[in-house]
Amino acid sequence: MAEISANTVKELRERTGVGMMDCKAALAETGGDIEKAIDYLREKGIAKAAKKASRSAKDGRIFSYIHNTHKIGTLVEISSETDFVAKTDEFNELGKEVAMHIAAANPLYLRPEDVPQEDIEREKAIYRQQLLDEGKPADRIEMILEGKIRKFFELTCLVEQAYIRDTDKKINDLVVENIAKLGENIVIRRFARYAIGE
């Protein structure tokens, strides 16, 4: 099978608003053909789910998880458009899974745009020094830094983290799948993680 370029994945993502993993899967399924991949996503309902993401979500539930050691606990608020969807088994399963994921993965932020600029600059300064110490050429450092900051977001931002039960999916992909299934916008609003001694 032909190698799918990052640019092709990026273009499909920009055109559909669908998560990276779903875009990669659609392109793999259609031999890298963007138009066919768009049709494939439409058929699966994922593109439709991405469009629903702009709708207002003012209902929902608060979910909790306490680890069996009783030393770690989490709370997470997940919104839906209606109470009807908030009461479904799928929505409640999503809430439980996200609450448990937070306990295990310990995200620091909800999404990349929530990361304070000074934290990003501090990370960049550390990476930049490491790259200089490794003797990387100055003209390549900025490009490498972009990738390092993306990786930092994937490790520290809940929606960008790899889902603990299926590392091929991000938490955001899990949310998008549920939007497609349930037909309403779903938004993770906020979370808190508590650990004894922290």
pLDDT in tens, 54-67: 666 678 999 999 99
Q: H helices then E strands: how many in the chain?
A: 9, 5
pTM: 0.70
Burial of 128 from C-beta contacts in 10 A (0-12 / 13-18 / 19+): middle
Provide the 10 A C-beta neighbour count for residue 94. 25
Residue 166 neighbours by CB under 8 Å, 6+ apart? none
- Cα torsion 99, 101, 106, 111 to 10°: value is -80
Over the stretch 83-141, which tens digit does the pLDDT of each residue have?
999 999 999 999 999 999 999 999 999 999 999 999 999 999 999 888 888 888 878 88
